[in-house]
Amino acid sequence: MFDSIVMRLLTGKFLCETTAPEAFRALEEDAMRNDVDAYLRRIGRRLACTAGGHAYYMAYERLGPDERAEVKRLFSEIKHDLRPMVNFLKFTMQALRNEEAPSPGERIDYPAILRAVTTHPQLADELRNFAALGRDFTASDSTARSMLDKVFTQVVKGGYLFLLDRDREVYAFTGKLDFLLEAIEFLMANEQIADEAPDDQPEQMRML
């Protein structure tokens, strides 16, 4: 298990209950965690865990000029993912009429979301709005299925969703979501974003 964990971490993967359940559970053990961390430290890296404890990943042990370039690249990746992912989280909450924020491991039933989109014009509008985020989110035609497919494909590609069951089209959020939420919470706390009351938003959520 040790080699499998280390190889996954070295290739930049997040280890979570959704994508690598056995590896994740093994890392919940102190001894394994210490072993992996000690190994990574020998190559200037360390084992890190997301704030919510839903995923493990590899982090730098020290930051020099070379690492700074990678930090910039990572920050730009997060900035790139920020708006689509916040929209997607809000969209799924609306579609599933759920006041809970999606968490890593939570299952997403694609057919249920598609049904909600075809039933509620408001949601269909929200789905169409994804196209404004760029070509990656623009579907080849304007059917709900095609638009939703495009959005799901991008979120899966970003590593935030994982296809659990191809036949039943069931997905699950990965531990990377925890990582993104950590970044979002940091930005909200440090850029004074959290002051607005969510109740200001239109009635759409309640109407659904």
43 vs 163 by CB, closer to another protein: 43
42 binds another protein (CB under 8 A): no
CA distances from 9 to 38, 47, 53, 206 (A): 13, 8, 16, 42
- Nearest CA to 122 among 53, 9, 206? 206
45 binds another protein (CB under 8 A): yes
DSSP-assigned letters across all residues of 66-81: HHHHHHHHHHHHHHHH
Smallest gap from Cβ 4 to another protein, in A, equals 13
Kindly tell me the number of DSSP H helices and DSSP E strands found in the chain: 9, 6
Fill in the amino acid letter for 19: T
186 binds another protein (CB under 8 A): yes
Q: Which two tokens stand for residue 107?
A: 């299952």
Smallest gap from Cβ 92 to another protein, in A, equals 10
Binds another protein (CB under 8 A): choice among 99, 141, 167, 203: 99
Apex CA 186: angle with CA 182 and CA 188, to 5°? 115
37 binds another protein (CB under 8 A): no
13 binds another protein (CB under 8 A): yes
Residues in the site for another protein, rule: CB under 8 A?
Answer: 7, 10-13, 45, 48, 50-52, 57-60, 63, 67-68, 70-76, 78-79, 82-83, 86-87, 89-90, 93, 99-101, 103, 179, 181-188, 190-191, 193-194, 196-198, 200-201
